[in-house]
Amino acid sequence: MESRYDPELAWRVHGRRPDADEPPRAHVETYGCQMNVHDSEVIRGVLAEIGYEKAGGPEDADLILVNTCCVRETAEKRILGRIGELQGLKRRHPGLVIVVAGCMSQQEGAVERILRRASGVDIIMGTHNLYRLPDLIQEAAAARAGARPGPVVEVWTEARGEVVEGLPVRRDPGVRAWVTIMYGCDSFCTYCIVPYVRGRERSRLPEDIRREVEELALEGFKEVYLLGQNVNSYGRDLPAGPGRTFSGLLRELDRVEGVARIRYTTSHPRNFTDDIIEAVAECERVCENFHLPAQSGSTRILKRMNRGYTREDYLALVERIRRRVPGAAFSTDLIVGFPGETDADFEDTLSLVREVRFDSAFTFAYSPRRGTPAAEAPDQVPPEVKKERLHRLIETQNEVSLARNRELVGCEVEVLVEGEAERRPGLAAGRSRTNKLVLFRPPEGVKPADLVGREVVVRVEEAHTWSLEGRCVGDRDAGGPNAGRVRAEGRCPS
Ligand code: SAH
Ligand code: SF4
Ligand code: F3S
């Protein structure tokens, strides 16, 4: 990472001397999906490299970076309000530098919108140029010193969105590490802003991904979560070669010693080909949770969404996976109130939930996004109808989630322990291979903290809508009567 960063200039802008005892402090606030969560880990790495320490909070910071999302209007409004609010902190600390990064900055007209709301923002940057942050701080410092007034704006379009390797990462501590395998999205679902703000699909090379995963294993991370807007199309933009399809990449990474679990998100039902099902079925470390955003249960609406599959295609895919991967769990994303959605279309979504029996679902009311085709549709659904449908959908899904979880009572599941359960002192918490939250009593004399990073076997005794509870009956890592691989909920009646 080449940088002309001069600490003296930047530190002066914060009103601190470079030789002062305390380094400048940065506070990073993140909104949006896992892509953004991981981008913020890179941002923290870049900031750490040029000497910033983590601030205790915004009040305590010399630099505040807001990593934004614009996927729905509610998110955008909340974030704009937040940026306006943070600006007030400049009254107490004139040396404070405020950076707006992420997807919102990439939208057309966003710079003007941000500045109208918060004229005190110093830097506006996008999603493609994270590694440029040191230089942008430098430019902002120069601007402050009077060389060039006003905010520094650098938002790149996809033309300059090449994959940059070797960026520093400050990962959140824990058992799980996020690894981006591809950037951007080429799907252009008609409701979605992501392809416009994240640019075209760009895959990292499999050897770079493998190297990163190997390093993570050495650092002690037990679970690797592969990230992309449509991971199933990984490698399509690369010349053909080993590991350059998603199934090939899974098989490649499954060979890395030390990683216990591999997960990935997000899949696109249209691109979930049989070779991927085979790879998941055969790869020991690849987990049996399938996050397959359906978006709607109505073929008519799916067509208008440009999703590229019908309700029947979706059901057939779930069926193929269930046959090949026993104990598989399914989660999804669903949108209600897409333009033109009738009561009958919505009933199709409810019936899809009952038919597939999703383990869980993220549910959204359609939010028109400027510049996307669906926002222009004349047959928008009134807000109160969306609200009522969303409510009914959530109720239906909750019933199904509880019923699915109840089927697991009496079964043994393999849990990767993450720590002590929040608000349930004495209980340990972790995730099953199917990504269900499991709380359990550790064996006599063992504290939850002692089990972090271990894979244990838990007998499920109670089921709730969003979690399971049970007791530990074995430790896969330590051996013992129940040690050995328990594939998914494979020991259960299915
Ligand atoms: N690439 C991923 C994530 C996209 S954003 C995917 O395809 O699933 C996450 C979810 O937000 C989407 O799956 C969709 O359900 C929802 N979403 C996207 N745009 C939306 C909009 N305009 N209104 C409501 N929900 C939306
Ligand atoms: Fe948006 Fe569709 Fe791409 Fe997902 S696949 S990011 S919903 S355009
Ligand atoms: Fe939001 Fe950008 Fe993710 S718009 S959902 S943060 S890709």
- Summarised one tens digit per residue, pLDDT across range 71-100 is 999 999 999 999 999 999 999 898 899 999
**pLDDT tens digits along 407-433:** 999 999 999 999 999 989 999 999 999
pLDDT for 444 equals 87
Conformation bin of residue 235: beta by default, left when phi > 0, alpha when psi is -120 to 50: left
Task: Render 156-183 in DSSP notation, one character per residue.
Answer: --GGG----------PPSSSEEEEE-EE
The domain ranges of the chain are 9-154, 176-406, 412-475
CATH 3.40.50.2000 for the 176-406 domain, yes or no: no
- Ligand 1: residue of 104, 127, 353, 364 to mutate (most ligand atoms within 8 A of CB) is 364
Interval 193-210 mean pLDDT: 95
**pLDDT tens digits along 428-478:** 999 999 999 999 999 888 999 999 999 999 999 999 999 999 999 987 665
Interacting residues of 443 by C-beta distance below 8 A, sequence separation 6+: 472
What homologous superfamily does CATH list for 412-475? Nucleic acid-binding proteins (2.40.50.140)
The C-alpha atoms of residue 350 and residue 296 are separated, in whole angstroms, by 9
- Between 363 and 482, name the one with better pLDDT: 363
Tokens representing residue 86 in the block = 């943070």
Rounded to whole angstroms, what are the CA distances from 329 to 458, 467, 489?
17, 14, 9
pLDDT for 129 equals 87
C-beta neighbour count of 54 within 10 angstroms: 14
Q: Where are the alpha helices (DSSP H) in 14-145?
A: 34-49, 73-87, 103-106, 110-117, 133-144
Q: Report CA(474)–ligand 2 centroid distance (Å).
A: 41
Least distant ligand from the CA of 74: 1
List beta partners, residue 335. 364
pLDDT band at 148 (very low <50, low <70, confident <90, very high): low
Residue with tokens 């309700």: 311
Conformation bin of residue 291: beta by default, left when phi > 0, alpha when psi is -120 to 50: beta
Interval 221-239 mean pLDDT: 96
Interval 214-232 mean pLDDT: 97
Q: What CATH code would you report for 9-154?
A: 3.40.50.12160
- Atom from ligand 1 closest to the CA of residue 333: 15
pTM above 0.85, yes or no: yes
pLDDT above 90 covers what percent of the chain? 79
The C-alpha atoms of residue 29 and residue 82 are separated, in whole angstroms, by 10
Q: Report CA(195)–ligand 2 centroid distance (Å).
A: 7
pLDDT band at 359 (very low <50, low <70, confident <90, very high): very high
Q: Are 27 and 63 in contact (CB under 8 A)?
A: yes
pLDDT for 164 equals 85
**pLDDT tens digits along 382-400:** 999 999 999 999 999 999 9
